[in-house]
């Protein structure tokens, strides 16, 4: 996560930024499931379609 700026969108389908993921980790998230619950990231499944990078 250190290579991403705070405002960079990591999950396009839920509009979750690197900052939000870092905040979830600071608040105690330790697993991907924890981060999903805290941020909504990786729950819609359309990132590849919505991301301008196509991934």
The count of other CB atoms within 10 Å of the CB of residue 30 is 9
- When pLDDT is averaged across residues 33-49 and rounded to a whole number, the result is 90
In the three-class reduction of DSSP (H, G, I as helix; E, B as strand; rest coil), residue 49 is classed as helix
pLDDT band at 50 (very low <50, low <70, confident <90, very high): confident
Task: Transcribe 16-40 into DSSP letters.
Answer: EEHHHHHHHHHTT--SHHHHHHHH-
Give the pLDDT of residue 49.
80
Where along the chain do its domains lie?
A: 9-50
Give the Å distances, CA to CA, from 34 to 23, 29, 53: 12, 5, 26
């Amino acid at each position: 996560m250190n290579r991403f700026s705070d405002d960079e969108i990591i999950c396009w389908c839920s509009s979750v930024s690197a900052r939000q993921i870092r905040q979830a980790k600071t608040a105690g998230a330790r697993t991907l499931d924890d981060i999903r619950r805290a941020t909504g990231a990786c729950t819609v499944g359309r990132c590849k379609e919505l991301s301008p990078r196509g991934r």
